[in-house]
Chain A
Amino acid sequence: MSARGEMGTHTEAPKRESDELLGSRGLTIRSKLLLFTTGIGFLILAALAITAFFLSAIALRKARLDGFQSLRTSLSQAINTLFAEQRRDVTAQAELQTVRYAVTELSSGYEHLIEDLDAAGFKVDPAFLSEVRQSLRDAYERGPMSDLRSLGETVGSFDEFSDLSPVAAILQYVYILKNPASPGLKFQKNSVLDISKNANLPVDFRNAFSKTMFARAMDRYHGLFETVVRRNSYFDLMLIDDLGNVVYTFEKSWDFGTNVFTGWRSHSALKKVFMGAWYGSSPSGDRTSGDDVVITDLERYPGAYGSPMLFLSCPINNRLGGRLGVVVHKIASSTFTDLVTFQGRWAAVGLGETGEAYIVGPDLKMRTESRFVKEMPAKMKSLSFEPDGSPGPLTTVLGGPLHNKAVENIYSDQVLSNEGEVTFFDDIGRESLGVYEQLGTAGLDWGLVITISTDEAFAPAVHLTRLIAFGGFVILIVAILAALAFGHLLSRPIVQLVNTAERIGSGDLAARAPISSKDEIGFLAERFNYMIDQVEERNRHVHKILETVNEGLFLMGPDFIIQPGYSKITQEIFQRKIDGIFFLDLLRPAPDSGLQPVINEETLVATQHYLELLLNPRIKEKLIQQTNPLGEIEYKELRPKGAQYSKFLEFKFNRVVEGGRTTQIMVTVLDSTSRIALTRKITENETKAKSQIEMLFGIMHLDPPILAEFLNHAKSEVTVMLDLLEAEQFGSHAGESSAERSDRYLRLLQKISRSIHLIKGNAAMLRLSYFEDLANRLEEKIATVRGGSALSGEQFLPITTGLASLLDQIGMTHDLIGRLLSMQTVFGKDAGEGAQTDFAPLVELAGEIAQRNGKQVRVDLQIKDGLARLPNPLREPIQMMMTQLVRNAVLHGIESPSERLAERKHPVGEIQIYAYRLTENERKIILAVRDDGRGINYQLLRRRAVQLGYASVNSIEAWTQQQLNNLLFETGFTTMDRPTMDGGRGVGLDAVRDLTAKMGGVLNVSSKQGQFCEFRLEIPVA
């Protein structure tokens, strides 16, 4: 607990601290909460969105691929089924007896057509054939040859290209060229009846042709095959005989009637499929599933204007195993394109907007039409042709080879498995997700790819992510608003608490935090208020203490600056506010204070030293407390009207230790003025009582008349002095300069001084130490005044009081003596009948003075001629003068015993006092005081004279001994450096001189340095 904190009331420091606190506080709880909510919200949102995206993307991918895989399975099944059915059908058809008959009859009719025509009355002459060929040439040139050229094929001449036998030419002439049915529908109007009525044909020819075996066989079997083709939705069904003649096609396109080994057929799949079936296919009865049917991959087929065609074939055997021919199924790509394009209902099978399924071959070219044929690069597309040979739309079937990962994986030798799923860039540059597999169709190394762009595949994930992001954003906004509101709710009591704390910090201890909730913060506010109650309570205690305590009580820091908060009395003691003051300044005079310390610099230094020691933790507090230099410090208190009082203060210091360190010093100030005054009064009273007793005892040994005489003399002297003082006009006389006034005062002072000295001398002689003390004290006062530079009237005030006091004492003693005298009368005892002479006290006086000054003397009294008792008018001045001279002799003449020994003298100095009547003239008395001391040191006198300004250094040498001797009697002249109780004030001898002069006597001095000094008085006796 900090004392400072307790006392800290209305000050600047806590305010500043709270400001710093506010500054370093940074963010408020509300903004932190907001930041926290926002940050966490965004993090959660981002995490949620990312997680949602990835999870849903993974799930979507999986779902998509699962869907694709089942689609792949069903598609490959469908395609394999399609081909399996075709194989089964073509095999079954090859086994059909009707087909055997058909191929045999058609082949036979084909072989004998020219003969049959001839027999029917139409001679096939070169001219007719030429005409037929010519009309066919036109059709070929316009149709297949032109189309193939546009596909970039080398076609050659019509003859090379078509290489039609007469029979082939006639059959194409009849069934295709002159068939009135529309292109693509040439399978119609094939009956004998139709031909016989076909106006396009020459009448004789058509009559003859309709009678041929071929026409009749065609008529007979076409209906049958039409039924088969229509029921199975075949594209075309062909019969090729054992010579390679295409004796029947359902469709009647440009392969009809031709031979597979001639013309364009010799390079076509038609020949391949015929040969394959003829040689490679299993003989009937030994059919194995894999080899019973021959199949060729999709190829451009000149017979269909270069449109891609696929062939299946199966040999037709007779019952002996001999080959009758081959059944061929011609299949256009549209058959399986329809399968994998779902008739355009892609969305229904989960392929959406960008998905598709397609089939590729080992040449990496497409076998089906792409859904995105428009978007496909040109090199991947090729021309297509309508059934009449007119150009159709561009197609991707057998376009350029694809270059994508899915297709490449199907045909990769690098991996074992040629099926799987892959994310890849397709041939129109879209990132796609796909599944692929080899179809496993017998005879066709085809692959199936099902794909969809990842954009679409993962669109739900993107949507979901967007939804989550948007929803999350909305939630976040709500959360932020909630956080704001909550933050406000949460921070308001805290802010109130802080405000309260600040108010308290600035001294308003009455401030209390409002308790607005029952939660932790409410509890905190409650506890806070409780704490403040406690603090206030303690503060009140402290205040009470500080207000009530009678001592000055304050704290200062290690810098000795007084800290705020001190006891009330402190301010009264020092009469000012002291906080912030350097402690030592309290001990120095302050210009604006009514209280000025009386302290010397040494004490200040000692104080500083003491305080530093106090801060030194190695020094025990108790140890140094004894050395406290400020136990009693006097202050002068100036009151209005110039009155001045002393005030004594006692400072006590105590360490305030915090954490083992002295952080502050507690200072207790006690106003001890009254105590000291009391002590002094007691001492004074004691002294007074003592001195009265002393006086009482001091006067007992005296003859009352002597005492009375002393008292009377002293009384008169004092009265004179008081009169003089009273008579003196203190203040300025008109026309008087300050120097003159000062001089006047000085003269007065000298008079008083001399009188007092005489009183002191007499008192000493009579061993009236009480009076001696009084006089001495008065003398000291006078000396103090005289020591001042310029004299003023006021300075005489203490002298006046001192004299008044002396007069009182004299009066008191007088009364006392009076009472004693009356007692003497009563007791009948003459106290004054002693053996003592008037000079006897001088012996005692000399002894006393010697003892006081560390000297030893022996007084030799040589009193003659009845002078032991001096006549009355003379006695008092003589006693006075003798006293001064004896005093002078002991003090200035006699050396200390050690000095005397060094001078080879007896350690006990001898003072001879003579008193005798001059014989020749008995009217004069000789009085002398002779000592065997050091004599007058004229060199010292000269030096002293120069020092005291009686003469210059040069002139002093010229002075005679007499002149120098006279200096001894000058007022204020002394050879001693400092006065003592016994002398050295330079007033003793001048009084002797004055008295001598007053009595009309002569004063002589004789001396020999180091041997003696003698003062000799010649006093006339009346």
Chain B
Amino acid sequence: MGLRLIGVLAVLTLSGERADAQFLSHDHPLSGGEIKIGMSNAQTGRIGLLGIEVRRGCEAYFTRVNKEGGVAGRRLVLVDYDDHYEPVETVSNAECLIDRDKVFALLDFLGTPTCRAIIPMVNEANIVLVGPISGAAIFRQPMQRLIFNTRASYGEEAETLVSHLLADLGCKRIALFRQDDSFGDAGRVAVVEALRRRGLVLVGEGEYVRNSVKASEALYHIAKAKPDAVILFGSYKPCADLIRGAKQIGLKNTVFCNVSIVGTEPLIKYLAEDGEGVIISQVVPSPYDDSSPLVHEYQADMRFIGITDYTYMGLEGYLNSRVLVDGLRRAGQGLTEDSLVNALEHLTVDFKSFGIHFSPETRQGTHQVFLTKIEHGRAKPIEKLNPADFAR
């Protein structure tokens, strides 16, 4: 008994005495004529098709920059690891990138749970992360000094979807399909908030396990609610499974609204004819429409590395790389993490209809959300939802 008391006291004493252990190196000196940029995302596995596209967009731009002489004479070197969209891997990869590979900055980490896991690492290692591909609030509220968001938040995507569903189509019975982790949680928060503002609540909710592909159980819960519309916070396979399953069991008039992270092109691929009329909110302009200077350059740089399949994810990866490189360029010769942060937080990249603008007060470079609808196997930008397309 006495010993236990001592133990308890010891716990209190020790925890007070000792700060959290530090496992990551804090300094990221540049060596040689290169700037190493670290990346970890799913290159294989259940959302592998997203990571590949992101990396391609990144490589396309890095190739161009290196071709043009690099950044202030330094070559850009991309060090990338596959994390299979599992946080434990992302943590391991990030540790490896920071401690072993000594990268200067992190780029294009993909996914909410994965990016979320490295927030403490980013802070601990004092390393910049540009463009976490997630719209979750945790990267925005509170503001993370080292994390620069180049995409609209899930809240903004959810708001756009909900407002259009209500205003354009009058859908009030809205259900949610989500991943059963921090990503899904973020989506849930976003949708619930958007509904709450309109005095509505979710009529149904279904979940699936991250990196699983089946949505049958979720479909059961969602179909039970007989929703007018379903907002999906998930990756392409479970989302496609749900939409197809829903159409098979007769939810033919239900509007399905995905968010950007779903992976537009893989979703279309897996849904095939079931994809017609499915809504996807996007955070970058259409990668197929080169009227935007960003898209024009993206397509040109992709073509340069021999790829002509343009994708939303690829464009996002490309955009993030541009933002990072612009920051690096602005930071100039005496490049440090702090100078990069400083450069980035004053960075504005304008592509006419679309732009990124940071400030010391905000790391949210854009709030733009684009609505698209799958038509004839392609995501077509739309201004609003046309009730005629959704025979109700």
Using CB atoms and an 8 Å cutoff, list the residues of chain A in contact with chain B: 100-101, 104-105, 107-108, 216-217, 220, 242-244, 261, 271-273, 275-276, 278-282, 288-291, 294-296, 318, 320, 322-324, 362, 413, 416-419, 437-443, 445
Contacts and interface: CB of A to CB of B under 8 A. Distances in A.
B249 interface: no
Contact of B23 (A261, A291, A437): A261
Contacts of A362: 44-45, 84
B209 A296 contact: no
A418 B117 CA distance: 28
A445 B11 contact: no
A275 B23 contact: yes
A295 B244 CA distance: 31
B15 A290 contact: no
* Residue from B20, B44, B88 whose CB has the most chain A CB atoms within 10 Å: B88
A322 B46 CA distance: 33
B87 interface: yes
Interface in B297-321: none
Given A220-B3, A280-B88, A440-B209, A291 B214 contact: no
B10 A105 contact: yes
Nearest to A276: B88
Contacts of A441: 209
Contact of A276 (B92, B208, B210, B214): B92
8 contacts: A242-B18, A280-B88, A280-B90, A288-B185, A322-B20, A324-B15, A362-B44, A416-B244
A438 B214 contact: yes
A295 B185 CA distance: 20
From A220, A278, A291, A320, name the one whose CB has the most chain B CB atoms within 10 angstroms: A291
Contact of A442 (B10, B95, B184, B210): B210
A216 B3 contact: yes
A976 B87 CA distance: 163
Contacts of A217: 7
Given A104-B11, A279-B118, A438-B214, A294 B87 contact: yes
Sorted from nearest, which 7 A-B pairs have the closest CB atoms?
A: A290-B181, A280-B117, A276-B88, A440-B212, A280-B87, A104-B11, A416-B270
Contacts of A100: 11
A282 B86 contact: no
A264 to B, nearest CB: 16
B20 A288 contact: no
Nearest to A101: B7
Nearest to B95: A275
Contacts of B212: 438-440, 445
Interface string B230-249: 00000001001100100000
Contact of B84 (A104, A216, A322, A445): A445
Interface in B49-64: 49
A242 B46 CA distance: 33
A443 B21 contact: no
A441 B179 CA distance: 13
B15 A291 contact: no
Contacts of B95: 275
Interface string B80-106: 000010111111100100000000000
A101 B8 contact: yes
B113 interface: yes
A291 B49 contact: no
A768 to B, nearest CB: 144
A101 B4 contact: yes
Given A290-B209, A294-B88, A295-B88, A242 B180 contact: no
Q: Name, among A216, A244, A281, A440, the residue most crowded by chain B CB atoms within 10 Å (CB to CB).
A: A440
Nearest to A271: B92
A413 B14 contact: no
B241 A101 contact: no
B211 A445 contact: yes
Given A276-B117, A362-B45, A244 B214 contact: no
Interface of B, helix, strand, loop or mixed by DSSP: helix
Given A290-B180, A443-B86, A276 B185 contact: no
B211 A273 contact: no
A105 B8 CA distance: 8
Contacts of B271: 416
- Most chain B CB within 10 A, of A107, A275, A290, is at A290
B381 interface: no
Nearest to B90: A280
Nearest to B184: A290
B240 A416 contact: yes
Nearest to B186: A288
B107 interface: no
Contacts of A413: 48-49
Given A242-B18, A443-B86, A419 B214 contact: yes
Interface of B: 3-4, 7-8, 10-11, 14-15, 18, 20-21, 23, 44-46, 48-49, 84, 86-92, 95, 113, 116-118, 120-121, 179-182, 184-185, 208-214, 237, 240-241, 244, 270-271
A318 B116 contact: no
Contacts of A442: 180, 209-210
Contacts of B46: 445
Contacts of A272: 88-89, 91-92
A777 to B, nearest CB: 133
B8 A242 contact: no
B207 to A, nearest CB: 8
Contacts of A320: 15
Contacts of B91: 272, 275-276, 278-280
Nearest to A261: B23
A173 B215 CA distance: 52
Contact of A244 (B21, B88, B118, B237): B21
Contacts of A322: 15, 20
A242 B20 contact: yes
Contacts of A445: 45-46, 84, 211-212
Nearest to B6: A105
A101 B11 contact: yes
Contacts of B48: 413
B184 A416 contact: no
Contacts of B44: 362
A328 B10 CA distance: 22
Contacts of B213: 416-418, 438, 440
Given A276-B91, A445-B46, 14 more contacts: A104-B7, A242-B21, A276-B92, A278-B91, A279-B117, A279-B118, A289-B181, A323-B20, A416-B213, A416-B240, A416-B244, A419-B214, A437-B214, A442-B209
A101 B84 CA distance: 35
Chain B CB count within 10 A is highest, among A108, A272, A280, A417, for A280
A279 B20 CA distance: 11
B136 to A, nearest CB: 11
A362 B85 CA distance: 13
Nearest to B122: A279
B336 to A, nearest CB: 24
Contacts of B120: 279
Contacts of A289: 180-181
Contacts of A323: 20-21
B210 A290 contact: yes
A416 B214 contact: no
Contact of A318 (B11, B210, B244): B11
Nearest to B138: A286
B117 to A, nearest CB: 3
Contact of A273 (B15, B88, B241, B270): B88
B203 to A, nearest CB: 22
A195 B109 CA distance: 50
B176 to A, nearest CB: 15
Contacts of B180: 288-290, 442
Contacts of A417: 213-214, 241
Contact of B179 (A275, A290, A438): A290
Given A290-B209, A322-B20, A440-B214, A108 B3 contact: no
Contacts of A242: 18, 20-21
A118 B244 CA distance: 70
